[in-house]
Structure 1
Amino acid sequence: MCGIVGIFDFRGNREIDAGLLHRMNESQFHRGPDEGGTHREPGVGLGHRRLSIIDLSTGQQPLFNEDHSVVIVFNGEIYNFRELMAELAQLGHQFRTHSDTEVIVHAWEQWGERCVERLRGMFSFGLWDRNRSTLFLARDRLGIKPLYYACLDDGMLIFGSELKALLAHPRLRREIAPQAVEEYFAYGYIPEPKTIYRQAMKLPPGHTLTIRRGEPVPLPREYWDVPFRAHDAFDENEAAAQLHARVKEAVGSHLVAEVPLGAFLSGGVDSSAVVSAMAKLTDEPVNTCSISFGDAAYDESRYAQQVAALYQTRHHVDQVAQDDFGLIDKLASLYDEPFADSSAMPTYRVCELARKRVTVVLSGDGGDENLAGYRRYRWHMVEERLRSRLPLAARKPVFGLLGNLYPKADWAPRVLRAKSTFESLARDSVEGYFHSVSLLSDKMRRSLFAPAFRSELQDYQASEVLRRHARRAPTDDPLSLVQYLDMKTYLVGDILTKVDRASMAHGLEVRVPLLDHHLVEWISGLPSSLKLKGSEGKYIFKKSLQADLPHDILYRDKMGFAVPIASWFRGSLRTQLQARLQGPALRDTGFFDMAFIEEMCSHHQSGRRDYSAPLWSLLLFESFLRTHGASA
């Protein structure tokens, strides 16, 4: 795993500043502490920081073809590189290394832009072809590895694995994008392709960007999408058997490495399934890592210990302190833009623990989106059945009125939170799902933002992100549609971003076999009834694992990986929260109604309401502003 950067003059052949390229590259030292390298030629500069995983002796980058006309900087792993190497050698290509990086270079020479369709793995890369005067940027299908880019006013394009590499360039304007602020306070992260800055973008998952010197920078091109093509009919037992075999094959493909391997083990279904497959595929005991919490409401470590004992892993556990909020400002420097998922803190700690023993770990991320594991899917389908009985024109006034009249009950179980359900039923399917996943509701965002900022948004609403994806979704099945929306937004913008930054901060590579694109494609074709059956999410996955894992691992309630921020804000962080949210960083932006922020603090700390989610998002936004000096 590595960090990449680049500077490209798409208007001409101007000299690239060596010192600037070096500073951009070194800003990502943590992503590749083993080695670093740069390459410059007229109009092009590429940089690379290396974390050595495969071909430790000869895999240095930037890496060239035989005549040095093609050069690449690459972040990721190509799991089928040996098969591709053999195929390309038969086609006449000569290899000087045993690295997966060189395979991409020859794949480009052989297949051009379509080379990405042949790659199985997680990747982002920048490739310069001098003979074609072309810079080619690519990102893997699910967005496991990040890639940021910006077109500067002087005709230079810059790119990097993290925003901090772009921020090292003095010509990148640090102006905050108002629509990105609206999206952040709706989702808790900024969905692709936007970033917090007007000038910088994320290359979306499953896209490439081909820039030819002397031509305008085009829009990215999509080369893959989740297909949701139905399989030929087969019964439950056959589906479970096939799923079991395919998961095992995906895990096996992810074990290619020349360094120690391990796994995250939370005690949930997904990580336990990965560990089970690893234990059957390796001769040595699997190294497993878990985090425990002092608060039993958040602690799953006993379940992780149960799986570790079953498969005789080398299990390591660290306990996160109840007041581990010293990481708040650290998170701002890691993520480079506002990021409000509080589980980033324990994720950072479990990566820190894992890196003490291994260089590569496998994770169970992706199982919930693939196999309908989130509780919100269950509630969405209940609401969809109600929506199907009444047209929107009839639902909107009735349930809209009930939603306004019914009192809010944050403290109550979901089944008793009728206000939220009524509000959702007054909307269409996509808007209703947006309402269920929003960090702050539409009404709360309107109250939070100052009138001048609302005017600047020009009626833009963050729900447009989901609508944009829904308009081009390859399925109209109600459950598959919201899974698709999550894969396009929450999975890449939150889950994978969280894990990438937390792991790379420690020079740790995390692999996600449940997001192997062959597996994702096959699972997407399963009937929804095999994913969510009644109230049981991941139904067919759990059925496939019944011989491998105990019943209480498979069928217990999902706990998640959160931290007790509601109690922090009423206790240890009470004073700090008030000082920072009423301080100059937020006030000087002009974005916010400061009286409303003060009201939320007061009501939360008195126990009248649970405003922990909006207050946490504001605290992380304030930390971002102080850390990065962004401008409104």
Structure 2
Amino acid sequence: MGALAGICAGPGEAWHEEKIRKAARQSLSAIQSSGVNPSSHHFEGGALLSAAGYAGLDGLYHDNKGNAAVIEGRLDDVAELADALGVAGQLEDAALLLTAYDRWGLDVVENIKGNFTFAMWDAGQKQLLAARDAIGFGPLYYALHEGTLLFGSRMEALLRAAPQLRAGLRHEILEDYAASAIAYDEDRTLYDGIKRLHPASLLVFKNGCVETKTYWRLAPKEISGDCGEEFLARFTKAVQRRMRGASQIASSLSGGLDSSSITCLLHKRLASGGARPPVALSSIFDGKNGPDERDYMDAVWRTLPASSRKLVVDSSEVAAFEKLDRLVSDHSQPLWMPNAAIAMHPVEELRDRTNVNVLLHGHGGDEVVYHGATYLFELAEKGRWGELWRELDMESISRNPSNKLVYYLWLMMTLGPAAKTVWRVRQAAALRLCKQNALGWPLGAEFWPRHVRARYEEDQRLFARFARPHPTDDLRALPRSQREHLLILTDPLQAYGREALHHQYAGAGVEIRYPFWDAELAEFSVSLPGSEKWKNGLGRSILRRSMNGLLPTEVAQRKTKYNFKGYLARSMRNGGGENVIAHAVYDQADDLAPYFDVAKLQKTFETFRSGEDLQEGVALFALWRAVILGAWLQKNREAPAYVH
């Protein structure tokens, strides 16, 4: 995956050349574990730093005019970009980026595609530019400190360059972490002095001032023709784009709809017959703590070409806290993903047992290829009862007994048009009676308040910070299925989730790429009418239909999702995990008390230690976060306060 960082001094002498060089060395030490071939380029009043990714597409470039660029990630459609620029031969991505800037200036971000974070020094204009791609997979943090801009794709690069920034630790963010909550504050980071650049944003630093702007927004477009064919074409292109730079490529195969679709497309159409056949990577479990997905995996494996290689990794005995030091030392903020150890284990096996340097992952399929159940609301509102009856699949809809759709349909069939008014009144009452998280789900007493400190709700102004923003008039004008789909894809939580994955796999030795998180694929998917998202009683029908003939029938028609809760609990017991949790909730109780209700945390742990199954996943998450937060706080106390 790689990493980048940099320093750019503003007017004045607060950061002289020697101080810049010392800080650059500190920043480079923070990012070098995230990639290979760490390098730096110094210019007058600053430096660009790089640790290249495992596919060799990112890195540094500077020309003879004093201009320089550093990129993390990759550019897409580079042949078309080179043609547009009149470039002969092949250029590295950083060089191509600098050439594109020479042509388009600040509009360069509107003329390039890919998954990238970049920074660029313009010697003529004496300005520094930095940007994130439209989807925003890799993060970019920045701080204006003593008139100097510090930036990096890892926050630790900024903290090592200016350790004084650690004093701005925001304890309310750690409380949010303990509560498994993220507020609607897109600039927020764990430190007061450090900001986060939004996805699809450009930053310009000149004369000591920082300006940012958004250059792209996801919005539905008019579409025509065969939607299934167009979806498959865009999905195929998304997978092809993420094959670039792979010396040998692999796909993650869990048996689910998303990973199976990527695997079938990659192995059957795009990478078959190559000198190094693709690998299908699967993580299996022994079936003692949950369902076994091997029947679905087997169904896919049976259809793959004989040349495809299968790598099956047993993750039953993974210990969640075995590599606790790494889980906190690689991150300048507490890690979000409770299944980090289970997810990392097969990737590490892939790295150690093959020559694979790129792994395609199915994350994002649920969001980009929306389930589409809100189309049933549309049918009810239009009174198309016959079509609604044909499309209803009560097994899927009512699997969650609190599903609001069932209640809404009952209102529509009973009250007709008046149901809309009743529904709005009911929703407004619910908002007054309970807090809501950023997705708009009710968070009553049965959710996270069980383990957070008593005054958390009152002190953190939860209702104001976590209520979903009001939709604009343009958004209200969209059909319900498009509106809800767009809200999901543009929710700030999605970007935080992608960044958390980026942090989780940093330094894994394999570059993880996500075909579903392709800007053009997302734009097409959100533009689809509801009838293409839900059809014949099945959600996500556009993916199922477009993959007809490529996906095994039993996978294409499956309605269930795999639940890892049982194996997460087992991993937290494996390898002496109970002793690690006990150390956190008892020995580090004073450290955790500002964020958790320690007594309730200890009671939950004793239930867990007795061997009793914790019925709620949130209880497991609370124990896991207590361990991670306790270890992270200890590490943070040991961090240096100043550069010596």
Both proteins in one fold, TM over 0.5? yes
CA 1:450–1:252 in structure 2 vs 1: closer, same or farther (change >3 Å)?
same
Paired AA for residue 235 in structure 2: V
- 2:94 aligns to what? 101
CA 1:383–1:290 in structure 2 vs 1: closer, same or farther (change >3 Å)?
farther
Given the alignment, which residue of 271, 276, 282 partners 2:259?
271
Contact in 1 for aligned 2:175/2:595 (Cα 8 Å) = no
Contact in 1 for aligned 2:319/2:571 (Cα 8 Å) = no
Paired AA for residue 558 in structure 1: K
**Is 1:293 aligned with 2:249?**
no
Mapped to 1, the partners of 2:246 and 2:222 lie a distance apart of: 38
CA 1:384–1:348 in structure 2 vs 1: closer, same or farther (change >3 Å)?
farther
Paired AA for residue 270 in structure 2: L
CA 1:275–1:568 in structure 2 vs 1: closer, same or farther (change >3 Å)?
closer
Mapped to 2, the partners of 1:442 and 1:243 lie a distance apart of: 41
Shift of 1:195: 2.0
Q: Which has the larger displacement, 257-266 or 376-385?
A: 376-385
CA 1:78–1:560 in structure 2 vs 1: closer, same or farther (change >3 Å)?
farther
1:504-554: per-residue Cα shift (whole Å, max 9, x none)?
322321222222211111111001332234762211211221211112112
- 2:195 aligns to what? 201
1:237-284: per-residue Cα shift (whole Å, max 9, x none)?
x22222122212222233222622222222211122112222212222
Mapped to 1, the partners of 2:462 and 2:233 lie a distance apart of: 49
- 1:406 aligns to what? none
- 1:86 aligns to what? 83
Mapped to 1, the partners of 2:635 and 2:588 lie a distance apart of: 13
Shift of 1:339: 2.9
Number of aligned positions between the proteins: 583
Mapped to 2, the partners of 1:80 and 1:513 lie a distance apart of: 14
**Is 1:577 aligned with 2:586?**
no
Trace 1:375-386 onto structure 2 (pairs within 5 A).
379=403, 381-382=405-406
SS of the residue aligned with 1:131? coil
- 2:231 aligns to what? 243
Shift of 1:128: 1.1
Contact in 2 for aligned 1:182/1:461 (Cα 8 Å) = no
Shift of 1:322: 3.0
- 2:53 aligns to what? 51
1:136-171: per-residue Cα shift (whole Å, max 9, x none)?
11011112222122222x222211111222222223
Shift of 1:628: 2.6
Trace 1:55-204 onto structure 2 (pairs within 5 A).
61-68=59-66, 70-89=67-86, 98-152=91-145, 154-169=146-161, 170-187=163-180, 192-204=186-198
Paired AA for residue 249 in structure 2: L
Mapped to 1, the partners of 2:136 and 2:477 lie a distance apart of: 20
1:121-140: per-residue Cα shift (whole Å, max 9, x none)?
10001111121121111011
CA 1:183–1:308 in structure 2 vs 1: closer, same or farther (change >3 Å)?
same
Contact in 2 for aligned 1:149/1:160 (Cα 8 Å) = yes
CA 1:431–1:320 in structure 2 vs 1: closer, same or farther (change >3 Å)?
closer
Aligned-residue CA RMSD (Å):
3.5
- 1:2 aligns to what? 2
Contact in 2 for aligned 1:290/1:301 (Cα 8 Å) = no
Structure 1 runs not aligned, ≥5 long: 401-423
Shift of 1:222: 1.1
- 2:205 aligns to what? 211
**Is 1:351 aligned with 2:347?**
yes
CA 1:568–1:264 in structure 2 vs 1: closer, same or farther (change >3 Å)?
closer
Identical columns (%):
22
Shift of 1:173: 2.2
Shift of 1:329: 4.1
CA 1:50–1:562 in structure 2 vs 1: closer, same or farther (change >3 Å)?
farther
CA 1:534–1:48 in structure 2 vs 1: closer, same or farther (change >3 Å)?
same
Mapped to 1, the partners of 2:432 and 2:460 lie a distance apart of: 26
Given the alignment, which residue of 289, 305, 316 partners 2:311?
316
Contact in 1 for aligned 2:179/2:448 (Cα 8 Å) = no
Contact in 2 for aligned 1:570/1:604 (Cα 8 Å) = no
Q: Which has the larger displacement, 577-586 or 188-197?
A: 188-197
- 1:597 aligns to what? 601
Q: Which has the larger displacement, 174-183 or 42-51?
A: 174-183
1:3-49: per-residue Cα shift (whole Å, max 9, x none)?
1011122344632432321221122222222x121122332121111
Contact in 1 for aligned 2:482/2:527 (Cα 8 Å) = no
**Is 1:489 aligned with 2:498?**
no
Mapped to 2, the partners of 1:223 and 1:441 lie a distance apart of: 41
Paired AA for residue 441 in structure 2: H
Trace 1:440-589 onto structure 2 (pairs within 5 A).
444-445=448-449, 448-451=452-455, 456-458=459-461, 461-464=464-467, 466-467=468-469, 476-487=478-489, 488-494=491-497, 496-533=498-535, 536-556=538-558, 557-560=560-563, 564-566=567-569, 573-584=577-588, 587=591
Paired AA for residue 579 in structure 1: H
Contact in 2 for aligned 1:380/1:433 (Cα 8 Å) = no
CA 1:599–1:286 in structure 2 vs 1: closer, same or farther (change >3 Å)?
same
1:536-583: per-residue Cα shift (whole Å, max 9, x none)?
221121122121111211222111555634456688644432331233
SS of the residue aligned with 2:27? helix
SS of the residue aligned with 1:132? coil
Structure 2 runs not aligned, ≥5 long: 375-395, 398-402, 412-418, 640-644
CA 1:507–1:180 in structure 2 vs 1: closer, same or farther (change >3 Å)?
same
Trace 1:26-41 onto structure 2 (pairs within 5 A).
26-33=29-36, 35-41=37-43
Mapped to 2, the partners of 1:470 and 1:71 lie a distance apart of: 41
1:279-306: per-residue Cα shift (whole Å, max 9, x none)?
2122223222121122352543442343
Contact in 2 for aligned 1:335/1:501 (Cα 8 Å) = yes
Q: Which has the larger displacement, 251-260 or 273-282?
A: 251-260
Shift of 1:210: 1.1
- 1:17 aligns to what? 20
Paired AA for residue 197 in structure 2: L
Mapped to 2, the partners of 1:615 and 1:156 lie a distance apart of: 40
Paired AA for residue 223 in structure 1: Y
Given the alignment, which residue of 356, 368, 372 partners 1:370?
368
Contact in 2 for aligned 1:196/1:338 (Cα 8 Å) = no
Contact in 1 for aligned 2:334/2:629 (Cα 8 Å) = yes
Contact in 2 for aligned 1:295/1:322 (Cα 8 Å) = no
Mapped to 2, the partners of 1:617 and 1:476 lie a distance apart of: 39
Q: Which has the larger displacement, 13-22 or 377-386?
A: 377-386
Shift of 1:449: 2.3
1:482-506: per-residue Cα shift (whole Å, max 9, x none)?
4434433343222x23432343322
Paired AA for residue 327 in structure 1: K
Mapped to 2, the partners of 1:304 and 1:568 lie a distance apart of: 22
**Is 1:390 aligned with 2:422?**
yes
TM-score by length of 2: 0.81
Shift of 1:199: 2.2
Shift of 1:227: 0.9
CA 1:53–1:577 in structure 2 vs 1: closer, same or farther (change >3 Å)?
closer
